[in-house]
Structures are given as structure tokens and as C-alpha cells.
Structure 1
Amino acid sequence: MKTIITLLKTLLLSHFPSGSSINYHDGLLYLIGDDANELLVLDSNYNQVNAVKLFNYDGKRIPKAQKPDLETSVILNGTLLALGSGATKEREIAVTVSLPLNNSQPFKSSYSTFIKRLHQITEINIEGAAVIGNHVVLSNRGNEANPVNHFIITSTDFISQQETAPIRIISLKLPLPGFAGVSELCYAEKEDILFVILSSEATSNAYDDGAIGDSYFAWVNNISRKLNDKEISLDGIVNLSDVDAAFKGEKVEGVCISSITDNSWILHLVADDDKGASRLFQVNVGVKALLDSSR
């Protein structure tokens, strides 16, 4: 089988904790950490160009019981929207930052009303988001006690229309012998492919961390045609530890696209080591190899 993913470079960010989401917009990367006080802004070579204070807790990492647990973020109408996992009351938070930054100040609000409407899901743990046309697709991460991942389909105005925004919940079928939880989503519009990042972790709930296992890069073809389905299956999956040894022991939690050609995508991944650091990965994904492997 042709090589689908090639690692181009990796960099440890020892000063930035718990990388959980990454977005690309107008030449810049926007990095979120689930217990970080700042939004970190990098150029495509991973040089820091800016930082925006989101919270004012003492120390490098926000204490676990107090952290907003921003696990995913997405660019929506020129605004960066970051979402807490919803696993506790403190984590039912939405943070928006207007782009480009200039003198933008973060705006914080609760999205607890929306979270309460997700009654079909046993345990809430929002860890992924992507914009597909007029829809936002959120992913709810399962765990060993509740081993089902869900996609939540809603509208792009769900934060301002929490009581009335449409909600459709779809279960995700995994072709794995064990369980892995969805940790981020990313949409390639031209090809209508949803990239799905998964990772395995020895934990039985949405609050506690556990021993880190493998991380996976997966995808769903023709995703826009499947948003009314009851269940979605992956069209392909790659264990990142098989791509390069640099991925071993890394809990990949974020992914974004920075460059698209007819032959490949350039993607950026971010991993959380659960010890107060983050690691970035730049990879090349071959379009033809990915599509051929799906057939």
C-alpha cells in the first residue's frame, strides 16, 4: 500500500502546556491548551509571533479542578471559537477571539444550555469541532466505561441559539480491536473529507487522565452526504506510531490543514503529554494514496 502520511518535522513546546487544538488562518497557527492561560500564535515554521491571555490563573498550568478544559477550537466567520469539554460545570465554557488579532480581547460565555440538551449521550466530553457548510460537527469522546464516540450535528449559530439550535447525534463505528476516543476533527472542503484524530487512553471517565496508548489518523469520505445517518463508519485509519517512532507515546489532540495541492495536504498536529508540554508535528498526507486506500 502506498504511504499515506509522511512526517516532515516535529517540535517540543516545553513552555506551552497541554496542547489540545490547533487551527490555521491567514498564514498563522492558533494553538489552544486545555489548561493553558494563553492562546499561542505561531507562524508556519513554529516560531511564536503572538500570545493572547485567555485566563489569569497563577502558574504555568490551570489547576485541574478549575481548568476550563478547552479541548477543541474552530474558525467560524472570522472568529476563533474554543469550547470547553463540558465534562464539569467549570468546563461548559465557550471563548471567542476575533481574527486577525490586532487588539482583540477574548469573550467568554457559558454554553451549558446547549450541553444540557445532549441528553442522548451518557457522559459529555466535547473534544472535536469542524465546520461543514452550514453545519458545525462536534465530537463527543467516549472512554473505556462508555466506549462510544458520537458526532453532534448542529448549526453554526449554536452558541447564540442554544435553546433552539438543531441537534442530531450520530454514533461513530470504529474498526479497532480496542477503544480509542475522538480527540479532534478537521474538514477538507474540496474533497468533502472529514479527518478524525483518535487516541487511546486508559481512563474510565471524562475527567481523569490515564496511561497514553496509540494515536490514529482517520477519515470519512463524502461526509456532507452522511450528516443525516444514524451511524457513520470510518473509510480509513492509520496508526501514527506506524508512520514514525516520534508518535509513540504521544496523545495527539489537534489537527489542521495549512496547504492543499492536487497531490497532497500539509497538516499540523498537536499532542499533549499530560506533563505540561506540547509537541507539534507537520505531516504530508497524499491525496491519491488516501483515496486509493479507501476503495
Structure 2
Amino acid sequence: MKLTLTDFRELTSFPSGSGIEFHDEKVFVVGDDAKEVLVMNKRWKELERIPLFESKEERIPKKIKSDLEATTVVLVNSIPRLLILGSGSKEEHRNKAVLLDLDSYLKDEFDMTVFYDRIKAAGITDLNIESAATLVEDYIVLGNRGTGKNPDNHLIITKNTFWKHQADCELSILPIKFPGKDNKLKQAGISGLAYSTINDWLVFTASTELTDNPVDDGPIGDSFLGIIENASRKIGRKDMKVNEYINLGESEKSLKGYKMESVCIQTEKNERLKLQLVADNDNGVSCLFKVRVKL
């Protein structure tokens, strides 16, 4: 995999970037403790901010934040909507989903406790949902990030509108299998997902952070970008094997030291992608990157 960094921007006025999506020539950025969704054009000119929560503080305090981490664009009744999911790492406040109509910017909220409890009952004890992507045939894939105590990463496979049918919607869990013997990658937790329809690739970001649990932050290490090929055909298998990956800091020195939180696809061609990434280094500042990837 060959990667080229084409642009960078530091967002000092928007905290804790955790999710990024590209839709209708607009970039939508979500922060895990932000009270708004930031909307920009593809050149990162701010267009508006969509309120999510009422707060007098720019960063919602950690004890009460919804920890919105996973984002994907879904179609519900032919209307594009931004699905934003809390991590579920704490039952109080974090078992929340927000569904934002991208035409009207009206929003609905859902308590995800029933669905999240099903995931725990299926074997994921440290729930920490940090990523989401929409695949073909309305499949939705959620990424559960591993921790120091439970380092395995998992993909949770379900279907569109699962938030309305939490007790009986489709649910399966697949471990992510990283290739080779790269110890840094083995310690990384999945943080972002995006799906390339043209290539049938599941693109992911992952990062290392020294913490034993899904709640506390820790020292930042390496970040990775990877690809799972033939993603739609692997949904029914026993695991999801990673085909390609790179250490971002080793591939491009300007990316070293950033904790990559999410990825979205701006344009896609056969074995070529133009991606946007968002990083959060736990200091209240979000950083944006544009990269080109060629396999």
C-alpha cells in the first residue's frame, strides 16, 4: 500500500474529533465530548454547526459525556442520515445513539442498552464501540476496540435500523485477525471504519494507547491504516482477516504522534482512494488529514 499526505488542518475550535463522514460534498465531524456536529466543505471551510446537546462548556465533562465515537451514513426511508453511536463503555450516558437527518438536520435519540447488552452476552465484556461502516445489502459493521486487558478487536455485524429492533435484529461477532508478527499492530485498537463500494474494501484506522480499560485515556503510540479485502463476502466467515496495512507514522513522518480516530472516503476508484482522517490527541484539539492511497 502506498500513501501520500496531501493536506493537514488543526481545528483548535472543535474538540476531540472521534468520527468523520463525507456525504454530498460535505464533511461531518463528530467529537466524543463535543456538543455539536461540525459541517465543512471538502476544502475544510466551515459551513455550520449542528447542535446535539445543550452545554455551557465547549467540552462536555467526561463523567456525563455521551462518548460519541462511531459514525456512518445510512439511508432510512430513502433519506440520508448520520448515525452516531456512543461507545457503550459505561452504561450511564454512553448507551446512546443519535440519528441525524442530513436533509433537515432534525435528530432522533435512542437508548441502545438492549442491543449493547446483547453484544456483551455474546462475549464482548469490555464494550467500546469506536467505529461503524455501512456495507452492501444494508449491512452495518461496528468496530469494538480492544483494551490492554482484552486486546482483541471485533467487528459486530448487524442490519440497517437495528436501533429500532434491538432485541431481535441480526447480530454476529467476528474477531479481526491482523497479519504477521508486528507487535505494535497486535497492540492496536480499531478506531475507524469506512467502506469502499467499488473495491469491496473495509478500510480501517487503528491506534495504540497505553490503557487497561475502555474508559481512561493513556499515552499515545502508533496509528495504522489498513484494508480488509472482499469485505462483503467475509461477513459470514469466522473472522475478518486484514490484507494490507501501514504504520502511518513510519510511512509519513508528518503523521507520527497522532492518534487516528476515524476515516472516511472522499473519492474512490479501482484500487485507489482519497481519504480524510481525523485525529484526537486528548488535548481538546482535532486534526484533519487528507491522504491518497494506492494498492
Deviation digits for residues 201-228 of structure 1 (CA, Å, limit 9, x no counterpart): 0000000000000100001100111111
- Residue number in structure 2 paired with 1:6: 4
1:218 to 214, 226, 251: 226
Q: Does 1:83 align with 2:85?
A: yes
- Residue number in structure 1 paired with 2:71: 73
Q: Are the counterparts in 2 of residues 130 and 186 from structure 1 also a CA contact under 8 Å?
A: yes
Q: Does 1:127 align with 2:134?
A: no
CA distance in structure 2 between the aligned counterparts of 1:273 and 1:100, rounded to whole angstroms: 32
Following TM superposition, by how much is the alpha carbon of 1:100 offset from its aligned partner in structure 2, in angstroms?
Answer: 2.5
Identity %: 39
1:97 to 96, 100, 125: 100
Q: Does 1:116 align with 2:124?
A: no
The secondary structure found in structure 1 opposite 2:164 is coil
Q: Are the counterparts in 2 of residues 155 and 166 from structure 1 also a CA contact under 8 Å?
A: yes
The secondary structure found in structure 2 opposite 1:206 is coil
Following TM superposition, by how much is the alpha carbon of 1:177 offset from its aligned partner in structure 2, in angstroms?
Answer: 1.1
The secondary structure found in structure 2 opposite 1:22 is strand
2:153 to 149, 156, 161: 149
- Residue number in structure 2 paired with 1:29: 27
Deviation digits for residues 67-119 of structure 1 (CA, Å, limit 9, x no counterpart): 00000111000000100000112100000110124xx2222221111000012
Following TM superposition, by how much is the alpha carbon of 1:260 offset from its aligned partner in structure 2, in angstroms?
Answer: 2.0
Q: Are the counterparts in 2 of residues 70 and 83 from structure 1 also a CA contact under 8 Å?
A: yes
The secondary structure found in structure 2 opposite 1:117 is helix
Q: Are the counterparts in 1 of residues 198 and 270 from structure 2 also a CA contact under 8 Å?
A: no
Q: Are the counterparts in 2 of residues 7 and 243 from structure 1 also a CA contact under 8 Å?
A: no
2:47 to 40, 49, 59: 49
CA distance in structure 2 between the aligned counterparts of 1:86 and 1:16, rounded to whole angstroms: 23
CA distance in structure 2 between the aligned counterparts of 1:266 and 1:246, rounded to whole angstroms: 18
Deviation digits for residues 133-157 of structure 1 (CA, Å, limit 9, x no counterpart): 2210101001111010000001112
Q: Are the counterparts in 2 of residues 198 and 216 from structure 1 also a CA contact under 8 Å?
A: yes
What amino acid does structure 1 have at the position aligned with 2:17? G
CA distance in structure 1 between the aligned counterparts of 2:209 and 2:271, rounded to whole angstroms: 33
CA distance in structure 2 between the aligned counterparts of 1:256 and 1:60, rounded to whole angstroms: 25
Q: Are the counterparts in 2 of residues 10 and 281 from structure 1 also a CA contact under 8 Å?
A: yes
CA distance in structure 1 between the aligned counterparts of 2:213 and 2:11, rounded to whole angstroms: 28
CA distance in structure 1 between the aligned counterparts of 2:35 and 2:130, rounded to whole angstroms: 18
CA distance in structure 2 between the aligned counterparts of 1:100 and 1:6, rounded to whole angstroms: 33
CA distance in structure 2 between the aligned counterparts of 1:70 and 1:84, rounded to whole angstroms: 4
Instruction: Tell me the number of residue pairs that the alignment of Structure 1 and Structure 2 aligns.
Output: 283
The secondary structure found in structure 1 opposite 2:278 is strand
- Residue number in structure 2 paired with 1:293: none
Task: Report runs of 4+ in structure 1 exceeding 6 Å deviation.
Answer: none
CA distance in structure 1 between the aligned counterparts of 2:252 and 2:125, rounded to whole angstroms: 35
Q: Does 1:177 align with 2:178?
A: no
Following TM superposition, by how much is the alpha carbon of 1:263 offset from its aligned partner in structure 2, in angstroms?
Answer: 6.1
CA distance in structure 2 between the aligned counterparts of 1:232 and 1:98, rounded to whole angstroms: 31
Deviation digits for residues 211-259 of structure 1 (CA, Å, limit 9, x no counterpart): 0001000011001111111122210110000222221111101111111
- Residue number in structure 2 paired with 1:159: 163
CA distance in structure 1 between the aligned counterparts of 2:253 and 2:128, rounded to whole angstroms: 29
Q: TM-score, normalised by structure 1?
A: 0.94
- Residue number in structure 1 paired with 2:15: 17
- Quote the RMSD (CA, aligned, Å): 1.1
Moved more, 169-178 or 154-163: 169-178
In structure 1, stretches of 5+ residues that fail to align are: 291-295
CA distance in structure 2 between the aligned counterparts of 1:180 and 1:260, rounded to whole angstroms: 26
Deviation digits for residues 167-225 of structure 1 (CA, Å, limit 9, x no counterpart): 10101112331410000110001110100110000000000000000100001100111
What amino acid does structure 2 have at the position aligned with 1:177? N
CA distance in structure 1 between the aligned counterparts of 2:47 and 2:223, rounded to whole angstroms: 29
